[in-house]
Amino acid sequence: LHCPNALSLVAFHFVSSIDTAEAYGKGKAETCLGDALKRLSYDRSDYVLTTKVFFGEHGPDSVLNQRGLSRKHVVEGLRKSLKRLQVDYVDVVFAHRSDPDVSIEEVVRAFNWVIEQGWAFYWGTSEWTAAEITEAWDVADRLNLIGPCAEQPQYNLLHRSRVEDEYAPLYKRCNLGLTIWSPLAFGMLTGKYSGAKIPEDSRLIKEKRLADSLTVEKANAVDNLKPIARRLGTSLAQLALAWCLKNKQVSVVLMGASKLEQVRALRGEGRGQA
């Protein structure tokens, strides 16, 4: 996927937010995005840019001090991300996972420090439990610091309990916003895996972890949604995206693509973020 072409196809038509992470492509995703944004010369105030730190730029190969949520890695990791992205700041920096080896107070202080430096406007969490988010807010309130403004969880028609049940008390108490990922359940909600069969050129054929998540029960659930989409005169993907956007707690729906054809299709699937 050619990054500048993809961005030019969707920019400001229905995409206002761009999300990445230090670990995506072992740092190459941020580098590619930074090069594309510079080449396209968009005004920085025209879009929201977010990234995530935790796994390190080398993913599983990152050494101990190059991953996690220690103050050292939050500061050094975000500094490297900004350099790859060729920007002075991101709008939101997310803690890509929680870190049991680092106190919540250190995490809260670290993210507040990068905000104070002007490297980010806000910070958030990704795939944290409700208890962890609550503790972060308790610490932030006690220290008169900024708590996490948003959580980035998986959410779709096949994966609902955390967003709808576990996080329910947080929306009012913490004014928590959601930036949700995998609205199409790794492509399952496009309908291309009918009968739990995996096409040769699909993402699931390349990633065993994802292929294992395609159960017969999920495939049957998707098949049961197809008549509803037909009755509404829409595609299954459009139905799945609209369903996510209908949830008033969802602020941003993250969508991805590996081919320009998919980007073109996404332009017609609804208004979201990429």
Query: pTM of the full predicted structure?
Result: 0.90
**Does any domain span residue 185?**
no
In a domain, 176, yes or no: no
Residue 214: helix, strand or coil by DSSP?
coil
Question: To which residue do tokens 């949520």 refer?
Answer: 69
In sign, the C-alpha dihedral spanning 229, 232, 235, 241 is negative
Q: Look at residue 44 and give its three-state secondary structure.
A: helix
Average pLDDT over residues 176-190: 94
| 139 part of a folded domain | yes
Of the given ranges (5-14, 103-112, 135-144, 239-248), which has the lowest mean pLDDT? 5-14
Q: Determine the Cα–Cα distance for residues 140 and 65; give it in Å rounded to an integer.
A: 25
User: What is the DSSP code string of 121-159?
Assistant: EEEEESS--HHHHHHHHHHHHHHT-PPP-EE--B-BTTB
Q: Is residue 159 in some structural domain?
A: no
**CA atoms of 20 and 94, how far apart (whole Å):** 10
- Average pLDDT of the residues of the chain: 89
Q: Residue 91: give the domain boundaries.
A: 3-152+254-267
Quote the pLDDT of residue 219.
85
Q: What is the mean pLDDT of residues 47-61?
A: 94
Residue 106 lies in a domain: yes
**Spatial CA neighbour of 236 closest among 179, 170, 197, 185:** 185
Residue 240 resides in a domain: no
* DSSP secondary structure string for all residues of 79-121: HHHHHHHT-S-EEEEEESS--TTS-HHHHHHHHHHHHHTTSEE
Both structure tokens of 171: 């929306």
Q: Which has the closest alpha carbon to 149: 187, 122, 189, 109? A: 122
pLDDT band at 274 (very low <50, low <70, confident <90, very high): very low
Please check whether residue 102 is in contact with residue 128, taking contact to mean a CB–CB distance below 8 angstroms: no
The catalytic site residues sit at: 24
Cβ atoms 128, 151 nearer than 8 A:
yes
| Calculated CA dihedral for residues 223, 228, 230, 235, nearest 10 degrees | -70
Is residue 163 situated within a structural domain?
A: no
Number of structural domains (the chain) is 1
pLDDT at 103 over 60: yes
**Is 119 inside any structural domain?**
yes
pLDDT at 272: 46
| Residue 28's CATH number | 3.20.20.100
Q: Tens digit of pLDDT for each residue in 22-42?
A: 999 999 999 999 999 999 888
Centroid of chain to Cα 39? 24
Quick check: 110 pLDDT over 90?
yes
Q: Which residue would you say has higher pLDDT here, 76 or 210?
A: 76
